[in-house]
Structure 1
Amino acid sequence: MGVAADIRRSLTGGPRPVVREHLARGESEAHALALLMLGCGLVFVGQWPRLMRVAQEEGDDFARLVAYAMLGWMMIWPLVLYGLAALTHGVSRLLGGRGTPFGARLALFWSWLAAAPLGMLTGLLAGLSGSAALANLCGALWIAVFAAFWWSSQREAARGPRAHGV
């Protein structure tokens, strides 16, 4: 299935079946990296309305703000998420998980991508209304959905390769 259909399936029925399918395809670091970069790219683009509002209100240069946001979302956050996936795998193994480092990465990266539409909505609301309560509420929802997806996906990944037919 396509990524958009998988995101819809994750949002409506939970991410576990989707993660199970991705893990059953076998280990492909290129696939995991593509999921991560797509998620970060969506969140980055979703921040443009907020950045335009900031540029207009503060008289700042929009291009400079976008360049800094691109550095953060496309270079720094992927490194942070790779480190977080490694830490998650270590904790999972200490708690008896049988998953692989790749499984922990895939679970985190898929969760990030599946929750990215809410990140885009948060940026849009912040651009339309500034730092209004609605944008903050949407941001909190985005974080909560991401955390719930990550928890569920990591539980699936911790089952180990044999559970996924690999």
Structure 2
Amino acid sequence: MAVTADITATYRGPRKVIARLLAMGPREDRLLAFVMGACVLLFIAQMPRLAREAHLSGQELNMLLGGALMGIIFIAPLALYALALISHLFVRLVGGQGDAYCGRLALFWALLASSPLLLLNGLVAGFIGPSPALSSVGLLWLAVFLWFWISGLIEAYWGKNL
């Protein structure tokens, strides 16, 4: 299935999509594409907010974009790999059966699948700015991300694939 079809299917049933991705076998190149794609979309989502900030404060937009690019594209994937390892160790501690690949897949897919809400959050931050609407969209993204991530962990570590 195409990634976009899998993203929309995740909103209907995240465990089914994770099960399908796990059944395709462990592929680190796929995981790297998921995390880098999610980080690129996160960077794109930050552009409207940074443009608003640059306009209102008189700062140089290119400097703000450069800092965001460095942090999101180069540093965030490393932090996400570390977070995936920590979640893997925690899940194994509470009795989950699976390898570190399962933890990385669950986290990276949750971030990529929730990216449409990240893009919406970026638009609200850029056009409306700090407001209850921005907080609401941010909380919605967080809830959906956690739903996808926890569902993915449950399927990967306790699902019938293992």
What is the Cα deviation at residue 159 of structure 1? Answer: 2.7
Specify the SS of the correspondent of 2:118: helix
CA distance in 2, matches of 1:20, 1:41: 25
Aligned to 1:164: 161
What is the Cα deviation at residue 136 of structure 1? Answer: 1.4
For 1:88-107, what aligned pairs fall within 5 Å after superposition? 88-107=87-106
- Render the CA deviation track for 1:102-155: whole Å, top value 9, x for unaligned: 011001000000011111100100100111110111011111110111000001
Amino acid at match of 1:4: T
What is the Cα deviation at residue 93 of structure 1? Answer: 0.9
What is the Cα deviation at residue 79 of structure 1? Answer: 1.1
Q: How many residues align?
A: 162
What is the Cα deviation at residue 15 of structure 1? Answer: 1.1
Amino acid at match of 1:164: N
CA distance in 1, matches of 2:61, 2:105: 34
Aligned to 2:26: 27
Amino acid at match of 1:94: L
Identity %: 43
CA distance in 2, matches of 1:2, 1:61: 38
Runs of 4+ in 1 over 4 A off after TM superposition: none
What is the Cα deviation at residue 164 of structure 1? Answer: 2.6
CA distance in 2, matches of 1:26, 1:111: 18
TM-score (norm 2): 0.96
Aligned to 2:6: 6
Aligned-residue Cα RMSD (Å) equals 1.2
Amino acid at match of 1:6: D
For 1:48-63, what aligned pairs fall within 5 Å after superposition? 48-63=47-62
Aligned to 2:68: 69
Specify the SS of the correspondent of 2:59: coil
- Render the CA deviation track for 1:57-89: whole Å, top value 9, x for unaligned: 000111111111111111121111111110111
Specify the SS of the correspondent of 1:96: coil
TM-score (norm 1): 0.94
CA distance in 2, matches of 1:49, 1:140: 19
CA distance in 2, matches of 1:48, 1:56: 12
Amino acid at match of 2:7: I
CA distance in 2, matches of 1:59, 1:14: 45
